[in-house]
Chain A
Amino acid sequence: MSTTTEETSSEAAVVATGIGKTFDTRDGEVQALTGVDLEITAGEFVSLIGPSGCGKSTLMRLIADLDSPTEGTLEVFGKSPAQARRDQDYGIAFQQAGLLPWRTVGANIGVPLELHGVARPDREKRVAELAELVGLTDFIDRYPDQLSGGMQQRVAIARSLAEQPRLLLMDEPFGALDEMTRERMQAELARIVGESGAAVVFVTHSIPEAVFLSDRVVVLSARPGRITGVVDIGIGRDVHRDEALRETAGFFEKVTEVREALHGTPVTAAAREAR
């Protein structure tokens, strides 16, 4: 984080310095985040993991300029989050797919393109590409209520990729999926991100998911959210992420390491045995 030198900061996708966020609610102040320092370089895949309510979504919303920090400074590609948003530097996928029910799959994927004045022929071409990417070519004229939850989520991911953003913000995008679909989607996302070269901030509750996808896993503590550990996963970007990877010893090691960071204490060998 702070170890990175000045010249590489031009390559940083996100730089957070001393970020704090306090919500004013009716029953007093809620401190969601405090003293968060984080630097995410371009093209890096970073997962945020931590107990429920620790401020993961809040941090993501700050980066997306859906909310503003009460302390510290935040830069997205060297700009203010508001400017980065206006420049469309990021794509976002929420926990709920958030598709417009009156639009077909194709029209939903095309929403950002339409809003930003991409001409119809170019738009249709790009939408077809994206539908292909997420494996929904045959469903392009269907409506969201005709899709399964997993398919809806894939539409949302395609939509977030529509303008080839340099930064992808994903808040538990696979939270609602069953384990099998989830693992398939993880592999698909790894492939898609590998092809696009975008930096990703990925919120998840699943340790294996975080390890499988990430270059770095950032562990947050319970409220108020603070960064308590950062685990370098060390599986290169060029490594093909498939089912075999999940079975390797290195993978298990990293899962354990993240779990230990999350629990705050080393998981003893005995406890590991018992499990």
Chain B
Amino acid sequence: MTTEQASLRTGRPRARTRGAQLRATAFGLLGIISVAVLWEVYKAVAPENGVVIAGTRVLPRTTDLAMPHTWEMVARLLEPTTSQAGAAPLWLTVAEAALLSLGIAAVGWLVGTVVGVGLGLLMQFFQVVERGLLPWIVLSQTVPLIAFAPVVRSWGSRIEILGWQWPQWLSVAVIASYLAFFPVAIGMLKGLQSPQRTHLELMHTYAASRWATLRTVRLPAAVPYLLPALRLGAASAVVGTVVAEVSTGYLDGIGRQLISFAGQASGDPAKAWAPIFGAIALGLVAAGLVGLIGLALRTYRRGEAA
């Protein structure tokens, strides 16, 4: 019995059975293992200097410096971060930085989502706004992050309200939200415009106000469009946070850690990989959290099947 058939039987779309869940977990593990195996096999068989064609290296070097053994990377995670006495284990240092970045990304995502949903609503409600605003929203994403990150930072550092100083992490969150709002705004607009004509005409026959139509038909119909947009927004917020940390010089997050540990790679090659794992875990956790929202709103995804 396929998942499809199972969900038809229970009448719950996309509800995973226990078997399907196990299978998904197994596939996930298999994926990780095969990447590790590929890594080790390549390291064992490829030439020391990588593959160079016409002066360009198309495959990387396989030295321990460039490609440490997978087990060394894992073992390094358990060792202390620095040689100083009492230093925390590397995984903890990375996890702390990743968690901090996750918090910043979450704030950025939240702000981006609120702004995106708001813009989507505004554009749906007023066609003039859609025509005037949409090109600018698209254009906004072509501005390179590196270009305006320092500007945001320097503006932020000048903001002081009643003794409250704009913290630097907030600049990072603002930049993350700048990336996150885009898919949400587009997805929301598309979703709000997605209801079937019959549903809208039905609302018209009920003499429903625009607000009532929004609540009863448009918002629920927008959910299947909004969920993937939120997931995209979360991914953008994480990438935005990491890049913004680097370009604003914010020291405590995973972004800065990526740079500083990479700088120590000549002496400690396995250490440089730890924050990369941290960043991956960060992305997975963010995607998982957004997945929970999808679970909570699954009733509204019934329209997808119909």
Interface, chain A (partner B; CB < 8 A): 64-66, 85-86, 88, 90, 92, 94, 96, 98, 100-102, 111-112, 114-116, 142-146
Contacts of A144 in B (CB 8 A): 302, 306
Tell me whether B84 is interfacial, beta carbon within 8 Å: no
Is the CB–CB distance between B206 and A98 below 8 Å?
no
Is the CB–CB distance between A143 and B206 below 8 Å?
no
Is the CB–CB distance between B206 and A101 below 8 Å?
no
Q: Given the complex of chains A and B, what is the CA–CA distance between A145 and B299 in angstroms?
A: 11
Question: In the complex where A66-B201, A94-B198, A115-B212 touch, is A102 in contact with B303 (Cβ < 8 A)?
Answer: yes
Is the CB–CB distance between A102 and B220 below 8 Å?
yes
Looking at the assembled complex, report how far the CB atom of B130 sits from the nearest CB atom of chain A, in whole angstroms. 24
Looking at the assembled complex, report how far the CB atom of A103 sits from the nearest CB atom of chain B, in whole angstroms. 8
Is the CB–CB distance between A96 and B216 below 8 Å?
no
Contacts of B198 in A (CB 8 A): 94, 96, 98
Is the CB–CB distance between B205 and A92 below 8 Å?
yes
Contacts of A64 in B (CB 8 A): 205
Question: In the complex where A88-B206, A92-B205, A94-B198 touch, is A111 in contact with B302 (Cβ < 8 A)?
Answer: no
In residues 199-247 of chain B, which contact A (Cβ within 8 Å)?
Answer: 199, 201-208, 212, 216-217, 220, 223
Question: In the complex where A143-B302, A145-B13 touch, is A98 in contact with B199 (Cβ < 8 A)?
Answer: yes
- Chain A residue at minimum C-beta to C-beta distance from B196: A98
Q: Given the complex of chains A and B, what is the CA–CA distance between A85 and B299 in angstroms?
A: 31
Q: What are 24 A-B residue pairs whose CB atoms fall within 8 Å in the complex? A: A65-B204, A66-B205, A85-B205, A85-B207, A88-B206, A92-B202, A92-B205, A98-B198, A100-B216, A101-B306, A102-B223, A102-B303, A111-B202, A114-B216, A115-B206, A115-B212, A115-B216, A116-B206, A143-B11, A143-B302, A144-B302, A145-B13, A145-B305, A146-B11
Looking at the assembled complex, report how far the CB atom of A147 sits from the nearest CB atom of chain B, in whole angstroms. 10
Q: Given the complex of chains A and B, what is the CA–CA distance between A112 and B223 in angstroms?
A: 22
Task: Identify A88's interface contact among B11, B207, B212, B223, CB under 8 A.
Answer: B207
Looking at the assembled complex, report how far the CB atom of B199 sits from the nearest CB atom of chain A, in whole angstroms. 6
Contacts of B301 in A (CB 8 A): 102
- Chain A residue at minimum C-beta to C-beta distance from B212: A115
Q: Given the complex of chains A and B, what is the CA–CA distance between A64 and B299 in angstroms?
A: 31
Is the CB–CB distance between B207 and A100 below 8 Å?
no
Is the CB–CB distance between B13 and A112 below 8 Å?
no
